[in-house]
Amino acid sequence: MYEPRKATILVVDDTPDNLNMMSGLLTEHFRVKVANSGERALRICAQEAPDLILLDIMMPGVDGYEVCRRLKAEPRLADVPIIFLTAKSEIEDERCGLALGAVDYITKPISPPLVLARIDAHLRLKLASDILKDNNAHLEREVARRTREIESLHEVTILMMASLAETRDQETGNHIKRTQHYVRTLAEALRAHPNYGAELDPHSIDLMFKSAPLHDIGKVGIPDAILLKPGKLDADEWVVMKTHTTLGRESIEHAEAQLGRSVDFLRFAKEIAYGHHEKWDGSGYPLGTKGEATPLSARLMALADVYDALISRRVYKAPMPIEQAVALILQGRGSHFDPVVVDAFIGVQERFAAIAELYADESGIGEALAAPPR
């Protein structure tokens, strides 16, 4: 007999003799509760769920079918096994009871050994089911924990690589944080657009956000004499500087090669590193791709990167007032930038300004925010 703990059996029957008989049969093995009506059975279950219910069908007021229906509709009680114990012996009666969710159907007059065997079997099945659910819940928690760990590892890897590039270029400051948030803001603004909504699902936007800090990772390979030059670059130096796009993509591909496979979360990182200096009209670099031939992630970063560069201090220029930077972005609509991306930017430019203020450098951005239009 079932003994992991003394299970509680609720017997529901409107006939006192039946309640007494079932109590006598079950008390040796189980904790027994009795209810002489469907209403009382529901009240007892609302206070404490029994481990199994023996339920008569023909009762005045709320009959057994309705009791079963209500219990199965209650999430806390839906898994409690119900065995109909009734004088209704027609096949249709049994079919109806089982269709409502009962686990078994025993007709009166009962066979005590049969009743005990059926109770024991269903309690053991319920115990096995509960153990399986607990194991599944534990497994789901463990999978969720490990998934969070993997995601954290991805983020740390990206930030470490981005920070490495940033240490080579002291002017950038919080540039990678600002552009990261600009890209997400633009992507979210474009989700409703018929041309771009399909590729801007929440997962893709999240990957773009996490990948954006790697847009200048290739600068790690640019010589200090060029990268740290206190002034504008000459033509030859500019040729070398432009190779950081190719170096960035190749560094990520090299990491994947060492791993032996492509990594989904780095797909956007490669697109952004390689393509964020391409222009809508094909006059950018490194390939001079035109229009939608440049991946969307790179087109988003193109606007984000230029906007931030305009409002930031550099050794060769003062920060530009935000209003002037917005005007230049508008001028680049259809030439430098994807027109649809520019339109999205106009709708969220106040959020861009808020991001710039939130992640402002110690010098530079604040001047752009405070400066009056020229």
User: Domain end: 118, 136, 154, which one?
Assistant: 136
Same domain? 130 vs 207: no
Residue 151 lies in a domain: no
Q: Using CA atoms, how far apart are residues 188 and 183, in angstroms rounded to an integer? A: 9
**Which residue carries 């066979």 as its tokens?**
111
Per-residue pLDDT, 271: 96
Same domain? 182 vs 90: no
Per-residue pLDDT, 373: 36
Same domain? 82 vs 226: no
Residue 148 lies in a domain: no
User: Domain end: 114, 136, 158, which one?
Assistant: 136
Query: For position 300, which CATH number holds?
Result: 1.10.3210.10
Residue 146 lies in a domain: no
Q: Over the stretch 281-304, which tens digit does the pLDDT of each residue have?
A: 999 999 999 999 999 999 999 999
Per-residue pLDDT, 371: 45
Q: Using CA atoms, how far apart are residues 305 and 336, in angstroms rounded to an integer? A: 12
- Residue 3's pLDDT band (cuts 50, 70, 90): low
Kind of pairing between the strands at 82-86 and 8-12: unpaired
For range 64-69, the mean pLDDT: 95
Per-residue pLDDT, 349: 95
Q: Is pLDDT at 212 greater than 50 in this prediction?
A: yes
In the DSSP assignment, the letter for residue 266 is G
- Residue 372's pLDDT band (cuts 50, 70, 90): very low
Residue 295 lies in a domain: yes
Burial class (CB in 10 A: 0-12, 13-18, 19+), 76: exposed
C-beta pairs of 57-62 under 8 Å, 24+ apart in sequence = 57/84, 57/86, 57/88, 57/93, 57/97, 58/14, 58/86, 58/87, 58/88, 59/12, 59/13, 59/14, 60/14, 61/37, 62/37, 62/38
Same domain? 228 vs 98: no
Q: Which domain holds residue 366?
A: 169-370
Residue 32 lies in a domain: yes
Same domain? 81 vs 176: no
Residue 2 lies in a domain: no
Query: For position 100, which CATH number holds?
Result: 3.40.50.2300
Q: Is pLDDT at 14 greater than 60 in this prediction?
A: yes
Q: Is pLDDT at 374 greater than 80 in this prediction?
A: no
Least confident of 59-63, 81-85, 226-230, 345-349: 226-230
Per-residue pLDDT, 239: 94
Same domain? 353 vs 290: yes
Same domain? 124 vs 211: no
Same domain? 351 vs 244: yes
Same domain? 219 vs 359: yes
What total of structural domains would you count in the chain? 2
Per-residue pLDDT, 165: 61
